[in-house]
């Protein structure tokens, strides 16, 4: 593919940013997150295909696999990808509040903030969940209407205590929405005070949340309190990015060593350590990896590659679509059951991940990307207004001229 054609393709697949400020490292981190999630759900599909697990119909959570070898644990530990998504969300949502605070401006108005979340995030989500609901009915395994409604309003995990049977991955979006709601209030605390005191507050809050979760005091995994430490550390990274780095961090090859070590610890180490220790370490390892990405040379260059960052920019579409696709494709993975674990997992990923990327890309281009335009509601209203024909008088009808003396406030007197 020549350079001009490649540039055209990438421009059509690139995300639209409302502020016009694109940070490639952020989309590179999103790429890492979605890669971990895809590998995990390819593992789920393989377990279903080989009768090692079952899934709640049609596309709900899978049961615990009876396989516990090291490769299945590593590939199946995709929750770290979701946690990385949470840290990136904390970073991205904090940026405008921190910029506004440092500029000494008035408090940010709430309506534009919430309007952007609603018009950007909701349409793709509502469409996917509605299509899956309709598909469940047509396939003869209908999901109850109440469960569909609870899924639409991000209340399924809160009410039913499990993943939505329509799309298991929606649990993390329930957590994201809770964070969107509390961000404006959180900004009042996390943007106040001197830099050192402000950052100490963030670290202490994150440490407290981690300790509470390590002790098992948060009972619902769809409650923001179970993962708020990752959002908080994303906020801390944004504070450093603006305050210390002035949005242009200096690079040093030493941070490549730190970054790759943290990446290996996140991808492999967290899957192998006992769960309580993993919960305690995960926030700080993920934060360290994110910090190092911005300061490194090779790792930063790799994750800022246009293709890598472009795929990362499409992660929401890929995330919404891939799980049902993988579950549907699992019926074709049965022959992999006789292969060694690592080979079977690599083949399953090689088969499923490209399909998930293609379907996610198509959905991104046709559905998500148009809603990235912050002015799309106004454009729709204009088109609807233009589509309604204006009523004009017939050519033969006489026009009555009303004397100026009979006009009051612009309205004719009857």
Residue of 161 and 395 predicted with greater confidence: 161
C-alpha distances (whole Å) from 103 to each of 96, 108, 113, 242 are 10, 12, 18, 11
pLDDT of residue 20: 55
Establish if 6 belongs to a structural domain: no
Encode pLDDT of 244-276 as tens digits: 999 999 999 999 999 999 999 999 999 999 888
62 strand-pairing partners: 55
Contact 52, 333 (CB under 8 A): no
User: Which helix (H) or strand (E) is 408 found in, with range?
Assistant: strand 407-408
Encode pLDDT of 319-328 as tens digits: 999 999 999 9
pTM of structure: 0.90
Establish if 132 belongs to a structural domain: yes
Cα–Cα distance, 224 to 216 (Å, whole number): 14
Establish if 173 belongs to a structural domain: yes
Average pLDDT score, the chain: 89
Residue of 10 and 211 predicted with greater confidence: 211
In the three-class reduction of DSSP (H, G, I as helix; E, B as strand; rest coil), residue 411 is classed as: strand
Angle made by CA atoms 337, 169, 110, in degrees to the nearest 5: 165
Establish if 414 belongs to a structural domain: no
Encode pLDDT of 22-40 as tens digits: 899 999 999 999 999 999 9
Establish if 5 belongs to a structural domain: no
Cα–Cα distance, 116 to 184 (Å, whole number): 13
Report residue 13's pLDDT band, with 50, 70 and 90 as the boundaries.
confident
Share of the chain above pLDDT 90, in %: 71
Encode pLDDT of 93-114 as tens digits: 999 999 999 888 778 889 999 9
Phi, psi of 291 (to 5 degrees): -60, -45
Establish if 58 belongs to a structural domain: yes
Establish if 326 belongs to a structural domain: yes
Question: Domains in the chain: how many in total?
Answer: 1
Cα–Cα distance, 80 to 283 (Å, whole number): 10
- Domain enclosing residue 232, as ranges: 14-395
Contact 270, 262 (CB under 8 A): no
Give me the helix-helix angle, 24-49 and 341-363, nearest 10°.
Answer: 120
Q: Peptide bond preceding 252: is omega within 30 degrees of 0, i.e. cis? A: no
- Residue carrying structure tokens 């074709």: 332
Establish if 4 belongs to a structural domain: no
Find how far residue 274's CA is from the centre of its chain. Answer: 27
Tell which phi-psi region holds residue 246, choosing left (phi > 0), alpha (psi between -120 and 50) or beta.
left
């Amino acid at each position: 593919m020549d350079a001009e054609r490649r540039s055209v393709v990438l421009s059509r697949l690139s995300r639209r940013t409302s502020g016009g400020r694109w940070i490639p490292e952020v989309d590179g981190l999103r790429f890492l997150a979605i890669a971990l999630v895809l590998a995990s759900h390819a593992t789920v599909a393989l377990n279903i295909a080989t009768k090692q697990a079952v899934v709640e119909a049609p596309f709900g959570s899978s049961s615990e696999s009876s396989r516990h070898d090291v490769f299945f644990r590593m590939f199946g530990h995709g929750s770290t990808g979701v946690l990385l998504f949470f840290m990136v969300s904390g970073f991205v949502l904090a940026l405008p509040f921190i910029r506004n605070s440092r500029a000494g401006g008035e408090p940010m108005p709430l309506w534009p903030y919430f309007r952007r979340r609603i018009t950007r995030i909701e349409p793709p989500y509502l469409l996917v969940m509605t299509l899956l609901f309709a598909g469940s009915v047509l396939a003869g395994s209908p999901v109850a209407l109440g469960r569909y409604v609870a899924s639409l309003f991000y209340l399924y995990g809160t009410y039913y205590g499990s993943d939505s049977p329509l799309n298991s991955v929606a649990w993390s979006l329930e957590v994201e929405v809770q964070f969107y709601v509390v961000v404006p209030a959180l900004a009042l605390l996390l943007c106040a005070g001197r830099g050192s005191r402000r950052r100490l507050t963030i670290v202490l809050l994150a440490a407290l949340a981690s300790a509470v979760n390590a002790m098992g005091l948060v009972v619902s995994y769809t409650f923001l309190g179970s993962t708020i430490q990752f959002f908080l550390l994303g906020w801390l990274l944004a504070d450093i990015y603006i305050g210390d780095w002035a949005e242009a961090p200096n690079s040093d090859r030493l941070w490549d060593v730190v970054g790759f070590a943290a990446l290996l610890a996140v991808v492999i180490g967290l899957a192998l350590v006992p769960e309580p220790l993993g919960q305690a370490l995960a926030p700080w390892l993920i934060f360290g990896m994110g910090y190092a990405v911005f300061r490194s040379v090779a790792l930063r260059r790799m994750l800022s590659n246009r293709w890598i960052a472009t795929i990362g920019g499409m992660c929401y579409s890929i995330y919404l679509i891939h799980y049902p696709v993988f579950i549907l494709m699992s019926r074709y993975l049965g022959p992999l059951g006789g292969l060694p674990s690592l080979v079977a997992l690599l083949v399953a990923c090689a088969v499923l991940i490209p399909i998930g990327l293609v379907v996610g890309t198509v959905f991104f281009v046709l559905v998500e990307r148009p809603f990235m335009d912050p002015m799309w509601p106004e454009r729709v209203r204009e088109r609807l207004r233009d589509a309604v024909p204006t009523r004009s008088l017939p050519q033969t009808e006489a026009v009555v001229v009303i004397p100026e003396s009979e006009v009051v406030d612009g309205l004719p007197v009857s």
